[in-house]
Structures are given as C-alpha cells and as structure tokens.
Amino acid sequence: MTTAARFKPDTLERLAAAGLNADRLPAHVAIIMDGNGRWARRRGLPRVEGHRRGVKSVRATIEECCALGIGQLTLYCLSVENWKRPQAELDVLMTLLQQYLISERAEIMEQNIRFTTIGRREGLSAEVLREIDENIRVSQDNTGMTLCLAINYGGRTELVDAMRTLAEQVKQGKLDPDAIDEALLNDALYTSGMVDPDLLIRTAGEMRVSNFLLWQISYAELWVTDKCWPDFDGTTLHDALRDFAARERRFGGL
C-alpha cells in the first residue's frame, strides 16, 4: 500500500490544493519557534505580546499539520537556557503555557491528537505539570497526529539524562557496558518510541539548531525562513513541505 492510499480523500484534496504529494511528506516535523520578541519589538510592543501572538501560530500550525496528515509535530516551546530570561517574562510564558494546555484540550480531543511532552519536569510549576499530565491522560488513546511539546528541554541535557540512566543500569549489574550501542542510547532518550524528525523548520532566519534534538536530527532536512514565529502560517508551512519534497535524501549513501 502506498502512503497516499492510507490518507482520507479530504486529506488528499487538501494536499493537492497545496501542491503536495502524500508520498513525499515528512512523517515527523520539528519546529524551532523563534522570533516572538523581535516580532513585538518591530511593532513597538512588549516582548510578551509576541509570545501571545505566537500562540495563534501554534494553533494554526497544529491544525494544518493535522489536516495534511503529518504523523508527528514537535514544537520547541521552552529550552533549558530560557530560564536565564527575566523573571517577569518567564512568569508570562508559564501563564500562557498553562492557559494553552487548558484551552486547547477540547481541540486536541476533537482532532484526535495524541499529546505528549519531552524535557525535564523539574522547574515547571505544579499547575503546568497538572495540565500536562491531564492532556496526556485524556489523549493517550487517540490515533491521530502526535503533538509533542519540548518544555524545559535541551539536547545536551537529554543526552546527559540518558547516560545517567544507562550508567545506573550498569552500576546495578543490569547492563554490560559493552552492550551499549546506538539503539540502547536511543531508547534511553526522552523521545524513545518516536520516529526521528525528517524536517526541522526554524523561523526568524537564525542558522543554528540551538540545542534542539541533537541526536534525533542527524539526518533531518533543515529549512529556515526569515519570518518570525508570529507570522508563520499555513502558506509558510506548505513552502517548507514543498522544498522538503524536492530534496534527495541519501542518508550518507550515493
């Protein structure tokens, strides 16, 4: 069965309207949502207004990925480095995150989305953790797109935590150090059980990966737009997907 054969007719129609081919879609799209502050500054607004406007882009992007039949969408919401920001901004970010988790719960269920997160729980408020856990619980049996939010996440931190997990197994005599290979390390990551991203999108024109999914994006295609995240929309997503479809992926081969 071809990839296209597994898609609903309305999904195929939407793909065709966007100039996309179901057989050339990435299974997993990851996005570094950058530029909220710059978007606000250029308009003479406080940085927090950029974050508020960015929530609308999150909603629109999730809806479009669902409509196009993308298997997984991972969004970089809060990095471990972001804790260096002013406390007032962090307070707003936590409030927005909590509100989003509550307000989008019905949409998650309506769209048949399976919700999950990656990152360290330490440092997140009890209120945010409660809403994260509730969204995971109510959506665990959903069969549509997986929505993964990277919250308090860092690629190096993830690798450290994975190494600690494996080291503890060695210490307890449950694991032979010589048995450690890529597969075991992969299973110890936050993303265990997920497919690696095929496409990494970054907004605001920055040409770096910013400690995001360092292990998982080894063979991902990178796509950067100068648009700040609040200006990211379905048309921009389609541009990224068409560019991805036109690339030849060799994975180190010829």
Catalytic, 34? Answer yes
Would you put residue 117 in left (φ > 0), alpha (ψ -120 to 50) or beta? beta
Burial class (CB in 10 A: 0-12, 13-18, 19+), 173: exposed
Distances (CA, A) of 248 to 157, 220, 235, 236, 254: 32, 12, 23, 21, 10
Buried b (16+ CB within 10 A) or exposed e, 60-71: ebbebbbbbbbb
Do you know the residue count of the chain?
A: 254
Residues of the chain by 3-state class (helix, strand, coil), percent to 5: 50, 15, 35
Of 21, 82, 186, 211, the catalytic one is 82
Of 10, 23, 34, 142, the catalytic one is 34
Write the DSSP assignment of 180-206 as a string of letters. Answer: --HHHHHHHSTTTTSPPPSEEEE-TT-
| Cβ atoms 108, 147 nearer than 8 A | yes
Catalytic, 36? Answer no
| Cβ atoms 147, 116 nearer than 8 A | yes
Say how many C-beta atoms besides its own lie within 10 A of residue 166's C-beta: 19
Say how many C-beta atoms besides its own lie within 10 A of residue 29's C-beta: 27
Would you name the residues annotated as active-site residues?
34, 82
